[in-house]
Amino acid sequence: MNWQDNLKRWNQEKNLDEDLKQQLEVLDEAELEDAFYKELEFGTGGMRGKLGPGTNRMNVYTVRKAAQGLASYVNNQKTGQGSIVIAYDSRYLSEEFAKETARVAGANGVKAYVFSSLRPTPELSFAVRHLQATAGVVITASHNPPEYNGFKVYNEDGGQLPLKQAEEMITLVKQVDSELHVDTKEVADLEREGLFQWIDEEIDRAYLKAVQNIRLSDDIDKEMSIVFTPLHGTAHPLVTDSLHEAGFTNVRIVEEQAKPDPEFSTVASPNPEEPQAFTLAIEEGKKTGADLLIATDPDADRVGLAVPDATGEYQVLTGNQTGALLLDYILSNDTSLPENKTLIKTIVTSEMGTAIASKYGAATLDTLTGFKFIGEKIREFERTGEKTFAFGYEESYGYLVQSFVRDKDAVQAALLAAELAAYWKKKGYSLLEALEALFEEHGYFREGMDSIKLEGRAGTEKIGRIMERFRNMHPETFGGLSVKAIEDYQTSVRRYMDGNKETIELPESNVVKFLLESDSWFCLRPSGTEPKLKCYYGVKSSTDEKSIQLLEALSKEVMNELTLVK
C-alpha cells in the first residue's frame, strides 16, 4: 500500500480524532508522504517517533496498534490472566498514551497496573518484577527532542524484550489489521471489572528501600554539597528522597528545571550527555561551591556528572569516565562479591572498564549496544550461577549497580555517585583527581562519538550505503593506527588482516567495528531510536595529550570516508 492509499484510509475514517484531523489539513505533500509512506517501525525495543497524524507517527492509533500486539503477546505467555505495568514520563501525550494502552489491554482481558503520575523507567522495570506482571510499558522518548514520544516494552523479568521475544511481539503488532480499528474499553468499566488498577506510593517505598541497599560505605563526607537537576523529567522525587535517606542533606535543586515540562524549555536537549544541559546546574553550583552536579534525562535512566576542577570551573564527565569511577569504587569496596564477579559492558564502551575489572580479578563480558542485552545476561547469570553480576554500564550515561532493576537506573547511579564523591572528598581528593589516578595506573583512555542525522527514506538508504562501504573495506590503517581486525556483527564474522576469521558469539546486528593497535577501535551503527548514524571511537596511549591527538585523527579520517558516500 502506497502513502496515498494510507492517507485516503485515514481521510475516510468517520471517527478520526479531531486534533489529528486538523493537523492533517495543514500538512504539505512532502510532509504527508513522510507521515504515511510506511508504518512506524516497532523494533526490538518498542517504537519511537515524532508525534502527529499518520502511520509513521506516534499517535493514539499507532499506540493502540502496539498495545494490541502487546496484549496478544501477554495472552500468549500466560495460561491464566496476564498483567502489564504502565508508566509514563513528562512528554506530550504520555499520560494519554498510557491510558490508551491500558484500555486496549483491558479489552483483551489483560490487567493493567498504571502509575497515577509520572514515574522513571527504572521504577517501571522494578514494578514489573515487584508485582510479578507479565510485561511492562513505559511511554517515553528518553532524551529525544520534544516532538517525539515512544512505547518501550519490558518482559516479565523487568528487562527490555530479548530478541526472540521481541520478534514474537513484532509479528503480533504487524498482524493487527488496521490501527484505526483496535478494540478498547473505558477506564471506569475496566476498574469495575478488576482490569485496571492505579499504583503509586507502595511501589515507590519498595523501590526506594531497594535503592538504599546499594550503599557501600558510611565513612564518607555526607555534608558534601550537591546540585541536582532532573531536566524537567521524572527523577526529582526519587533521586532527592534517596539522597536524603542516605544522609545527604546539602542537596540543592535547580528550580527552573524541577517541574516536568514537555518542551524542556530551558535546554536545547534534555540529555545529560550534552554539556549544555548542565548550564543552569553550573550556575547554581558556582553560587554554592557545590562539590558535585548531577543531571538525569526525562525518564531517569541516564545520569551525568559534573565536578569542579582546580580553577573552580565545572567539568562534565563522560559516560565512560563516570563508569570507570563507579566500577573502581564498587570493586574496591564491595567485599560481598564472589570470585566469579563480572562486569558487563557494551562493545562501544571504553576498554578502560576491562582494565579496571582485571585489576580486581573480575571478568568482563561485552554485549551489543543497548542495555537490554546487559539485562539479558544478568538473567542468564542468575539462572546458571556461573557468573555474578558486579556492575553494568554503557558509554551513553547508563549504569546499573544492582539487579533488582533490569535496565539502566539513574536513581541508583545518582546515589552511588554521591557516595563516590563523598568518599574521595573525605580522603582529600576530587573526582577529577581520582580519575587521573586511574589513568596513570591503567593508561589514558579517550573516547568520542560523531553522529550524522539522516532523516526519511533517503536518509535510511544512505545509512545502508555507508554501512556497506565500511563493511567491505580492507584498510591497513585508520587515523595512523594499524588495523588488526574488522568485526561484522551482521554476519557474525571477525576478519583479521592476515586472512584468518573467527565467529562472533553475539546476536546478529547491523554494526561494524574496526579493532586497531594499542586497544584502540572505532565502530559504526545506525541508531535504534533516532534517524542517525553513530560513529564511536576509542583510543589509548601513555599520555592524555597523545590520546587526544589520536582521537582527533581517527575521527577526522572516518568522517572524511563518510563524505565519499553519496
Query: Rounded to whole angstroms, how far apart are CA atoms 396 and 416?
Result: 18
**SS3 letters for 343-376?**
EEEECCCCCHHHHHHHHCCCEEEEECCCHHHHHH
Pairing status of strand 444-453 against strand 532-541: antiparallel
Pairing status of strand 83-88 against strand 135-139: parallel
Exposure string of 304-326, with b = 16+ CB inside 10 Å and e = fewer, is bbbbbeeeeebbbbbbbbbbbbb
Query: Rounded to whole angstroms, how far apart are CA atoms 118 and 296?
Result: 15
The answer to whether 347 and 510 have CB atoms below 8 angstroms apart is: no
Burial of 452: CB neighbours in 10 Å, binned 0-12, 13-18, 19+: middle
Active site annotation includes 142: yes
Exactly one of 142, 396, 430, 509 is catalytic; which is it? 142
The three cell numbers locating residue 228: 541536582
Query: Rounded to whole angstroms, how far apart are CA atoms 447 and 317?
Result: 12
Query: Rounded to whole angstroms, how far apart are CA atoms 485 and 521?
Result: 10
Query: Rounded to whole angstroms, how far apart are CA atoms 98 and 146?
Result: 17
Query: Rounded to whole angstroms, how far apart are CA atoms 389 and 160?
Result: 18
Smallest Cα–Cα separation from 173: which of 11, 20, 39?
39
β-pair partners for 226: 251, 292
Per-position DSSP letters for 461-500, written without gaps between them: HHHHHHHHHHHT---SEETTEEEEEEEETTTTEEEETTS-
Query: Rounded to whole angstroms, how far apart are CA atoms 522 and 443?
Result: 18
Return the beta strands (E) in 19-82 as ranges: 46-50
The answer to whether 351 and 395 have CB atoms below 8 angstroms apart is: no
Write out the H or E segment, with its range, that includes residue 258: none
Pairing status of strand 314-316 against strand 477-478: unpaired
Those residues with Cβ within 8 angstroms of residue 105's Cβ, 6 or more apart along the chain or in another chain: 67, 70, 71, 74, 84, 111, 112, 195
Catalytic residues: 142
